[in-house]
């Protein structure tokens, strides 16, 4: 076997394909620890596929085929540079396996069927759905400035987007119950339309027709911002982590 030195593309080993890399924890966002403590450039050394949010909740990130897109309050996706910083992200090397095709199914039902089909509620895995969505509802938080507010305080500072008959990709991560806090237990899904005009954190969807692919991980590599002074000194013991994550991940703003 020969190796091309002109290419950065590395073959995916079985070992790589089983690993989910996460920087930061979702629990950090609850009390407003929103400083960017890693970069897109660094994340891309751990995977070509992922989701995250920028410093100060600057947009909803989705990484597909090694390119990082950010959806901010305009709803339109833009490519972000390697030095863009993030407090939280999940990435992996794509080696998805085809699971099935589904039609006319809502998000909740779709997610239930995915868990049932692979019987893996205690395992980290990723799901990618590409197809036509008859309905998609996403949101993007508006970027905050330091000193940062809590996650609950930014609940009314979101832009929400509704799309109909949209072709696009929904990328999600499923985390087991016992890792709630590090991630959000259950699914965490971001979206990007093929034409990049709509995307963000998925609140609801109806899939008209699409292919479901999944990738199971046996290993979580959890990297923490251990030298960030705000992270080091924060007392998490009184933060309402579980309640705040459940609310923030699924509910749109109340207005």
Binding site for a second copy (CB under 8 A): 25, 27, 119-124, 176-179, 181-182, 216-224, 226-227, 231-237, 241
Look-up of token digits 């990618």: 128
CB of 72 to a second copy, least distance (A): 28
Q: Which is nearer to a second copy, 209 or 232 (CB)?
A: 232
CB of 206 to a second copy, least distance (A): 27
Q: Which is nearer to a second copy, 10 or 232 (CB)?
A: 232
CB of 174 to a second copy, least distance (A): 12
User: Residue 154 is encoded by which pair of tokens?
Assistant: 């930014």
Q: Which is nearer to a second copy, 37 or 158 (CB)?
A: 37
Q: Which is nearer to a second copy, 26 or 57 (CB)?
A: 26
CB of 91 to a second copy, least distance (A): 14
Q: Does an H or E element contain 118, and which?
A: helix 107-118
Task: Provide the b/e sequence for 185-223 (b: ≥16 CB within 10 Å).
Answer: bbbbbbbbbeeebbbbbbbebbbbebebbbbbbeebeeb
CB of 210 to a second copy, least distance (A): 26
Q: Which is nearer to a second copy, 18 or 197 (CB)?
A: 18
- Are 60 and 201 in contact by the 8 Å Cβ rule? The answer is yes
CB of 82 to a second copy, least distance (A): 21
Q: Does an H or E element contain 223, and which?
A: strand 219-223
User: Residue 237 is encoded by which pair of tokens?
Assistant: 């013991």
Q: Which is nearer to a second copy, 112 or 232 (CB)?
A: 232
Of 20, 23, 30, nearest in space to 181 by CA: 30
Burial label, 43 (beta-carbon count in 10 A; 0-12, 13-18, 19+):
buried
φ and ψ at residue 4, rounded to 5 degrees? -90, 125
């Amino acid at each position: 076997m020969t190796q091309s030195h002109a290419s950065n593309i590395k073959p995916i080993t079985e070992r790589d394909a089983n690993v989910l890399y996460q920087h930061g924890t979702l629990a950090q966002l609850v009390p407003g620890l929103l400083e960017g403590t890693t970069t897109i450039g660094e994340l891309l050394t751990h995977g070509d596929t992922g989701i995250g949010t920028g410093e100060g909740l600057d947009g909803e990130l989705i990484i597909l085929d090694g390119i990082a897109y950010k959806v901010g309050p305009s709803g339109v996706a833009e490519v972000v540079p390697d030095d863009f910083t993030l407090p939280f992200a999940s990435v992996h090397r794509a080696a998805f396996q085809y699971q099935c095709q589904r039609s006319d199914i809502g998000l909740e039902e779709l997610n239930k069927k995915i868990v049932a089909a692979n019987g893996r509620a205690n395992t980290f895995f990723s799901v990618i759905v590409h197809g036509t969505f008859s309905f998609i509802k996403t949101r993007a938080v508006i970027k905050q400035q330091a000193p940062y507010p809590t996650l609950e305080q930014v609940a009314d500072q979101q832009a929400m987007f509704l799309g109909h008959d949209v072709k696009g990709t929904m990328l999600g991560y499923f985390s087991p119950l016992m890792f709630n806090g590090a991630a959000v237990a259950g699914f965490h899904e971001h979206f990007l339309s093929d034409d990049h005009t709509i995307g963000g954190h998925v609140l609801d969807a109806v899939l008209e027709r699409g292919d479901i692919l999944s990738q199971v991980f046996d290993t979580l590599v959890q990297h923490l911002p251990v030298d960030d002074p705000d992270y080091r000194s924060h007392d998490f013991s009184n933060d309402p982590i579980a309640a705040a994550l459940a609310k923030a991940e699924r509910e749109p703003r109340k207005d």
